[in-house]
Amino acid sequence: MIRKLLFNNIYLLLGIVFFYSNIVCANGDDSLPTRIKEVKTLIANGEYQDAVKIMDELYLKYPDSLSVLLDRAVCNLYIGRADVAKLMMNKYLDKDTTNYDTYNVKGAACENLGELDSALNNYNIAIKMNNKIPDAYYNRGKVYFSQHKYSEALNDLIKAKQNCSKGTNNNNIIMLLAQTYVAVHQYDKALKEFKIIEKKNPDNIFITQNMADAYFLNKNYKMAIEYYTKALNIDSNNVNMLNNRAICYNEIRESEKAELDQEKIETIQRQQGVQIQLLKYKDIVAEDDAFKFKIPNNWRAFSSDMKDSVIIVFFNPEFKNIVNSDTIDYNFGGELKIIKSNLITDTDLNNIINQRAAISDNYVLNREIETSNYRYYKNIMKKLYNPTASLHQGLMKAEYNNFSDDPSDNRFILEYHCVNNKGWLATLYIWVPIDEAFYYEKLLDYILSTLSINIQ
């Protein structure tokens, strides 16, 4: 349910200041202090490239200045050049190892480069040198959060918040602290932190969405509805929030309002959905005709059949993918899996239905536990279909927000499953990039509608 607030690739370096070395500067606008002040102004205005240009000029002029090395590293972090930032910090540390800010900046560079062990080591050194520095606690807490070490993350984020000087903009610290409380199911504490940020940013839709989701998880459905409504006043066509509000309405037995939200979702999807009637399809058939469905002609599929299961993977080759004998990386497509376990031997239909439901519930519970450990993966909807004489079915929707530079890394996912009277479990996952989700929503629905299940 909880969306991640989109953090910048550079992590806030709250305590880093631009300081001046003891070199002698010429008088006038080209003096080092004057140019550094100009750089600070550019960064405050978000003009990072211009700031980097000035720091590059200063680096050529003052290659041995510690302040230039540090400030050039910080500027390059703002534009995603963590490699340059790390190089500058290594040169700095060759000259001086007494400044804790240097280790914090190097830690941020390593973190951006994916070198998490080195990042943690540098943050540890910075904190050992100055245990009152909020930046390093925040940055280390963020790494722990990404590693699902939530207890360690909480300890660091609490210290980061405590060590911030009065008047400091600590919104990122509080936001991540709130999301960490959510991760450990301490929703009341999470909401307390969210409310602090809400006072400063009452119209921020990301904060409003997070608060709505936190209220939902805390089973305070009326407050969740209030915040979803507030967010929908800003983004009225947000299908996920409409869906979540509909679930809340159902929970408090206001089904008519839930139906209105569902009708609006269908209207949005009709207006923005892909024209499925214009596409051509081909059948994908599982072993022994156990499962059959349609996919567009230009998609590819391959299967593997084992003793106790069968897997069919399909994908759109127009999106980034790598498929070979060792690696499967597909950002648009799906996977069908049938687990052939004869768990049900009963012949009484009522007992069969109950056992099917138990297998389905166990799958959903295990899936929720599994996905709760995925940093970027958040369930946004769960629905159980009415059981038939032969199947118990369920559907979940989820988002995967990686916040990378590649939009196709952010995905919208449908997870369908069913259990037959033998106890066989069949799952079908379908996913598309989030920024294309509106256009493919009807296509996903169509693929599911073509499912032909024959696993009696």
Residue corresponding to tokens 């915040």: 227
> Topology of domain 32-182, per CATH?
1.25.40
- Name the burial class of residue 26, with classes exposed (0-12), middle (13-18) and buried (19+) by CB atoms within 10 angstroms of its CB: exposed
Residue corresponding to tokens 């679930």: 247
34's enclosing H/E stretch is helix 32-44
Burial 238-267 (b: 16+ CB within 10 A, else e): bbbbbbbbbbbbbeeebeeebeebeebbee
Count the residues in the chain: 456
Determine the residue type at 161.
K
pLDDT of residue 403: 55
323's enclosing H/E stretch is strand 321-323
Answer yes or no: are the C-beta atoms of 179 and 207 closer than 8 Å. Answer: no
Q: What is the mean pLDDT of the chain?
A: 77
More confident of the two residues 235 and 448: 235
Answer yes or no: are the C-beta atoms of 387 and 377 closer than 8 Å. Answer: no
pLDDT of residue 383: 61
Domain residue spans of the chain: 32-182, 207-272, 276-453
Q: Check whether 23 has a pLDDT greater than 60.
A: no
Answer yes or no: are the C-beta atoms of 294 and 282 closer than 8 Å. Answer: yes
Q: Check whether 28 has a pLDDT greater than 50.
A: no
Which tokens hold the place of 34? 């004057």
Give φ, ψ of 311 to 5 degrees.
-130, 130
pLDDT of residue 327: 40
**Are 32-182 and 207-272 in the same CATH fold?**
yes
Q: What is the DSSP letter of 392?
A: E
Q: What is the rounded average pLDDT of the residues 232-254? A: 87
Given the candidates 1.25.40.10, 3.30.110.30, 3.90.1150.10, 1.10.1740.10, the CATH classification of the domain at 207-272 is: 1.25.40.10
pLDDT of residue 125: 95
Q: How far apart (Å, rounded) are the C-alpha atoms in residues 178 and 194?
A: 6
The 10s digit of each residue's pLDDT in 167-187 is 677 888 999 999 999 989 999
pLDDT of residue 321: 39
Contacts of 452 (CB under 8 A, 6+ apart): 291, 292, 293
Answer yes or no: are the C-beta atoms of 379 and 400 closer than 8 Å. Answer: no
Which tokens hold the place of 91? 């040169």
Q: How far apart (Å, rounded) are the C-alpha atoms in residues 453 and 425?
A: 12
Q: How far apart (Å, rounded) are the C-alpha atoms in residues 110 and 179?
A: 23
More confident of the two residues 338 and 84: 84
Answer yes or no: are the C-beta atoms of 216 and 1 closer than 8 Å. Answer: yes
More confident of the two residues 354 and 437: 354
At residue 271 the predicted structure's pLDDT band, cuts being 50, 70 and 90, is: low
Q: What is the rounded average pLDDT of the residues 358-362? A: 83
- Find, among 351, 384, 348, the residue nearest to 367 by Cα: 384
Tell me the range of 2-6, 233-237, 340-344, 436-440 where mean pLDDT is highest: 233-237
The 10s digit of each residue's pLDDT in 89-136 is 999 999 999 999 999 999 999 888 888 899 999 999 999 999 998 889
Q: What is the rounded average pLDDT of the residues 47-54? A: 85
pLDDT of residue 324: 36
Q: What is the rounded average pLDDT of the residues 319-348? A: 60
What class does CATH assign to 276-453?
Answer: alpha beta
More confident of the two residues 142 and 376: 142
CA dihedral 434, 435, 436, 442 (to 10 degrees): 60
Q: What is the rounded average pLDDT of the residues 40-68? A: 86
Q: Check whether 149 has a pLDDT greater than 70.
A: yes
pLDDT of residue 304: 64
Determine the residue type at 425.
L
Answer yes or no: are the C-beta atoms of 433 and 407 closer than 8 Å. Answer: yes
- Name the burial class of residue 413, with classes exposed (0-12), middle (13-18) and buried (19+) by CB atoms within 10 angstroms of its CB: buried
Q: What is the rounded average pLDDT of the residues 48-64? A: 87
Q: How far apart (Å, rounded) are the C-alpha atoms in residues 164 and 156?
A: 12
pLDDT of residue 374: 65
The 10s digit of each residue's pLDDT in 275-330 is 555 567 777 776 566 677 787 777 777 666 666 666 777 766 655 433 333 343 44
The 10s digit of each residue's pLDDT in 371-409 is 766 666 666 666 655 566 777 777 777 776 665 555 556
The 10s digit of each residue's pLDDT in 407-453 is 556 677 778 788 888 888 888 777 766 655 555 666 666 777 777 76
Give φ, ψ of 342 to 5 degrees.
-85, 80
Q: What is the DSSP letter of 169?
A: -
pLDDT of residue 5: 31
